[in-house]
Structure 1
Amino acid sequence: MQTLYPEIKPYARHELSVEAPHVLYVDESGSPDGLPVVFVHGGPGAGCDALSRRFFDPNLYRIITFDQRGCGRSTPHASLENNTTWDLVADMEIIREHLNIDKWVLFGGSWGSTLSLAYAQTHPDRVSALILRGIFLCRQQELQWFYQEGASRMFPDFWQDYVAPIPVDERGDMIQAFYKRLTGPDQIAQMHAAKAWSTWEGRTATLRPNPQVVERFSEAHRALSIARIECHYFVNNAFLEPNQLLNNMPNIAHLPGIIVHGRYDVICPLENAWELHQAWPNSELQIIRDAGHAASEVGTTDALVRAADQIAHRLLNLAPDEA
């Protein structure tokens, strides 16, 4: 099994002012002359960390990580102002141009797969390949499954804690009820709702219980940005037309792609990856038989590292012993 590459430090850090009030954190690591790859994190609202760089061979890749609007080290924290899918697509173009990159590989999981697809379909000439995990197409059926009814039947104990901040008479529309509290003036109610929302996601992210994943999601600072920004996007249908990402797959049908998806992914069911693969003949679908949603699960980590190695081998035309 492949494991993550050793931890590395960035060789450059940037703070990029985009549309007010947002300032984005961006860093570069690996080889300055390597194959450019951008790590597109999930959430929306989760941010990057030191692990984000470790899926890539630092001798082959120029690794770009950035925190999307309102999360991680970008400022202001948890801001919903001027924060839409298309703002983030525009930000990625600003980053690419600022770093003088012609084309790059997109590496995105969960919401990161959503944003990667939206970016690629808007700028197909700026993408050399895609590596996507835990496919999330932001359709109503997916939001209803995880936040309203579906996953609730598999985890009734965790669901009880998720719905706790919401009065019974408001539970017919959980996303709207959470949005009311996450954007309301009561900061105690806001944080209570944020931790309930984000902890539900952390508890269901892995096939086997993983306290570290739950702790990461439930940490107050991160929980606030995840819950507020996710809920903001979801009440607005992620600023996408119905089924937009699948409908626009002809725009990127020519691009090579590897899709990695856990068979027991409860947050983003395998059906999403299957439908994307059917609409994308140039993609390879790898179903991880003993994994859920998280990139940190052993089989998924192995597949993602191998996928990044495979894409580098293909695009750099390396001999097998050089990959």
Structure 2
Amino acid sequence: MDFSRLQASSKIGEDWVYPQPPCLNFGWLEVDRDPAHRIYWEEYGNPAGEPVMFLHGGPGGACAPVMARFFDPKRYRVILFDQRGCGKSEPTVASAGPVVALAKNTTADLIGDIEKLRDKLEIGGPMHVFGGSWGSTLAMAYAIQHPAHTASLILRGIFLGAPEDLLYLYQGNAATWEQDPYGLTEPGAYMKYPAEWAELLSVLTPEERKDVMKSYKAIFDMVPTTEAEKERQLKAALTWSLWEGVISNMIPETADTGKFGEADFALSFAQIEAHYFANELFIPAGHFFDHIDVLASIPVHIVHGRFDEVCPLTQASRLAQALRDAASEPATYIVTNAGHSAMERENALALTAIMDGLPRLGES
């Protein structure tokens, strides 16, 4: 029996509202020394339009030109940039190794980079800050530190980064998987993606599976001295990267893994993520809720996929409730019939609709 018509991609495909705009300008900005960090940036849309600072996911995910398609190119001036250590920024983990690329690579450093990029591009007033997944985390952290520069927050796939959020994604039933791979001993993304979960755990020994994130971090921190160690480190990076890349889509794109299956991307992406996760995102516990009054003073627009297994909907629910408790209903709260990725059709269309409906900067 032919089942091919029963499964179709959940990605946006040809349904974008706006065409791909041309890149107006690009460059590298030196943001640090010893070691030097240069971040790569691109500009799209209307040079005189309302500024939008786009914050990509990961950490370590990097930007792509398609990310400018959420925005009306006649209205918005869209800034894409690759965060430290990834994409076209320099140095990357893949090119220079983790010791160099992860030095001075913290949330505070990334917030500082946004401010330096604002100055470079002469963005004097408030701007829209748009971020998904880790980008939502960074957007909120930036807004708390620089509320006067944040006209609105447009957040997709809320990631709060609490210990339970990471355990859901990376630990699940790993400790008992060897004895009972399909046992539902703990909540986790493995329940929806058992084959991909088996791949993630295949890199580790049963003992290492007792703490998946710690064990992967140890592999990434290893300085390979043999070809076998080098191969294991690359396999670990690719497996880590593919786990998140595949489960980000409600309908997994197993035949086309895109950038997540590319060695250089995976080496940077996996090692930057493990670096941030091992350091609790370089954000104090409870930071967003301790400063919910600041976030409540800014219009917060939330889009979250009901079927998101990377960042389950409970994370958006916690944020929305905290805003309500601070007497500030989210300006928008849309739960889509989609997964995690911004490129899921329902997520992409909801985000574009929000941007089209925002009050113009300067209007009361």
TM-score category of the 2 structures, normalised to the smaller one: over 0.9
- The alignment of Structure 1 onto Structure 2 pairs a total of residues equal to 316
Of 84, 97, 105 in structure 2, the residue corresponding to residue 83 of structure 1 is: 105
Of 289, 293, 307 in structure 1, the residue corresponding to residue 340 of structure 2 is: 293
Checking the alignment, whether the CA contact within 8 Å between 1:39 and 1:63 is kept in structure 2 is yes
Of 246, 268, 273 in structure 2, the residue corresponding to residue 225 of structure 1 is: 268
Of 31, 36, 39 in structure 1, the residue corresponding to residue 54 of structure 2 is: 39
Q: Name the residue aligned to 1:244.
A: 287
Checking the alignment, whether the CA contact within 8 Å between 1:254 and 1:282 is kept in structure 2 is no
Q: By how many angstroms is 1:121 displaced?
A: 0.4
Deviations 1:29-66 (A, max 9, x none): 11111000011000000100011111111100011010
Identity of aligned residues (%): 40
- 1:116-135 superposed matches below 5 A: 116-135=139-158
Q: Name the residue aligned to 1:198.
A: 241
Which has the higher mean CA deviation after the structures are superposed, 291-300 or 186-195? 186-195
Letter paired with 2:355: A
Q: Name the residue aligned to 2:200.
A: 162
**Structure 2: gaps of 5 or more residues:** 1-11, 94-100, 173-187, 225-229
SS of equivalent to 1:285: strand
Q: Name the residue aligned to 1:315.
A: 361
Which has the higher mean CA deviation after the structures are superposed, 58-67 or 163-172? 163-172
Of 70, 87, 94 in structure 2, the residue corresponding to residue 55 of structure 1 is: 70
Q: By how many angstroms is 1:14 displaced?
A: 2.1
CA distance in 1, matches of 2:289, 2:59: 20
Q: By how many angstroms is 1:214 displaced?
A: 2.6
Residues 212 and 108 from structure 1, CA distance in 2 versus in 1: closer, same or farther, beyond 3 angstroms?
A: farther
CA distance in 1, matches of 2:17, 2:57: 18
Q: Name the residue aligned to 1:136.
A: 159
Q: Name the residue aligned to 1:259.
A: 302
Pair 1:11-2:24 in alignment? yes
Of 38, 61, 64 in structure 1, the residue corresponding to residue 79 of structure 2 is: 64
Query: Which structure: larger Rg?
Result: 2
Q: By how many angstroms is 1:188 displaced?
A: 2.1
Q: By how many angstroms is 1:276 displaced?
A: 0.8
Checking the alignment, whether the CA contact within 8 Å between 1:256 and 1:282 is kept in structure 2 is no
CA distance in 1, matches of 2:215, 2:69: 38
Deviations 1:60-119 (A, max 9, x none): 001101000001100111221110111101110111111111211011000000000000
Checking the alignment, whether the CA contact within 8 Å between 1:202 and 1:213 is kept in structure 2 is no
Pair 1:29-2:44 in alignment? yes
**CA RMSD, aligned part only?**
1.6
Checking the alignment, whether the CA contact within 8 Å between 1:203 and 1:213 is kept in structure 2 is no
Checking the alignment, whether the CA contact within 8 Å between 1:85 and 1:115 is kept in structure 2 is yes
Query: TM-score scaled by structure 1?
Result: 0.94
SS of equivalent to 1:293: coil
Letter paired with 2:78: I
Q: Name the residue aligned to 2:137.
A: 114
Checking the alignment, whether the CA contact within 8 Å between 1:137 and 1:243 is kept in structure 2 is no
Runs of 4+ in structure 1 off by over 4 angstroms are none
Residues 212 and 121 from structure 1, CA distance in 2 versus in 1: closer, same or farther, beyond 3 angstroms?
A: farther
**Structure 1: gaps of 5 or more residues:** 319-323
